[in-house]
Structure 1
């Protein structure tokens, strides 16, 4: 598909405009593995993080997300002291979040997205899904519901005890560790699936034949619905704003259990 080749070339030439200016270390292996294959092009990613967000992405309904303030962003486990120090700067409504690994991948053919979706589901990313935009773009989102979001302060006043914050941090750190295990599983299974499929082939591997059959049946029943899905967005940064979901509701195949 010539159009896909142009889209991938444009994405590859685009400067990284994320806050970090580089890939998260834990997500870099998966991103490079996919971008090294002809049928795939990653558009955004985050390896998973702990966030203290104040403002729009916190509790204030109606306030644009872009007006939120990040008090703390950590891509590795943190401690109670880190959270308490960040809260000292709070003047509004603050939530504490754990956001798991997320990856958005532009795919050349639907079967490429199906292969990727099968691997994601098997690796524990049960909220993954596929969209087909009106312009023909096929976007696969690797996601999970392995999240945590708890309000901590209101108008600058801490509403919970330090003991509770210590408990939340412990829970969030456990989720971060499980998130890392899922990323490792995803990388290994993806590498094996791509090798079985011939490395850069657009055809699903024999190991995903059963999943492909399920997709075909579902796709026949949902053809009209698929065509009405909103097109995927371009120009998304690698590091997402708190609570952002760059590719909209990517849930066409998310309910399929393999």
Structure 2
């Protein structure tokens, strides 16, 4: 426990290394709630976003690689927002594209290191109940326990080829409406996740307190029973001794 606490303090004292440099406003409460609990530490997060990005045509992946690393390195972000978006912003971003452009919706994602496996299991249950059904737990070789909150309601649509828009504006607007609906559902799931997590942590603390109180009460009762049993045994021995003396005197 001491090692986890020390690691957590070091982790949270670092500067935010994300592109934005801070936690997204819609999930500040979630991150604060988890980091305020001694058994959890968030390592990365995104509240959900709408993105227009471009990337040059990819060469075949080298042997032993997937090609994902190259794809990620060569992406150019033309637009990113964590809010509901308008068609004007998307079209403006697409006008700046010179390579293949893609429109994406990426839902809420959160990675949390947990002190014990049971903590990760609690968090996993909360995530599933909130609608993040792609969530999972991983345990590293050195025992590092990570819980990832993920969802499957993503969206990825190619819109332009070598800078040329391949669809009409009506279709772009349709895709955007779908993405905005997914963003709204994403926010509802975040709210459910926060409320369910808050209740689970409070209930866990309450259950632990009740368990502790019950244990203490049981220990006290057991101690009382042992004490009474000892007193009874002493009384019986004392009474037995008196009887023996009387019988001896009588016999004499």
Change beyond 3 A, Cα 1:199–1:149: farther
User: 1:93 aligned to 2:100?
Assistant: yes
CA contact (8 A) 1:37 1:199 kept: no
Do structure 1's residue 105 and structure 2's residue 112 form an aligned pair?
A: yes
Q: Find the counterpart in structure 1 of residue 211 from structure 2.
A: none
Q: CA deviation at 1:199?
A: 7.3
Mapping of 1:137-152 within 5 angstroms? 137-152=144-159
Kindly provide the CA deviation profile for residues 2-24 of structure 1, in whole angstroms up to 9, marking residues without a partner as x: 33122211211110122222110
Aligned to 1:167: 174
Contact 1:194 1:200 in 2 (8 A): no
Where does the alignment leave 5 or more consecutive residues of structure 2 unmatched? 60-66, 209-252
Q: Answer with 1 or 2: which has the greater Rg.
A: 2
Relative CO higher for 1 or 2, CA cutoff 8 Å, sep ≥ 6?
1
Q: Distance in 1 between matches of 2:84 and 2:58?
A: 27
Gaps of 5+ in 1: 202-258
Query: SS of the counterpart of 1:197?
Result: helix
SS at match of 1:198: helix
Q: Which residue of 2 aligns with 1:253?
A: none
Q: Which residue of 2 aligns with 1:14?
A: 14
TM-score calculated relative to the size of structure 1: 0.74
For 1:17 and 1:72, the matched residues in 2 are separated by 20
Residues 113-147 of structure 1, C-alpha deviations (whole Å, 9 max, x = no match): 00000000000000000000011110000000010
The structure whose residues are more often helix, as a share, is 2
Aligned to 2:83: 76
State the 4+ residue runs in structure 1 displaced beyond 4 angstroms.
Answer: none
TM-score, length-scaled by structure 2: 0.76
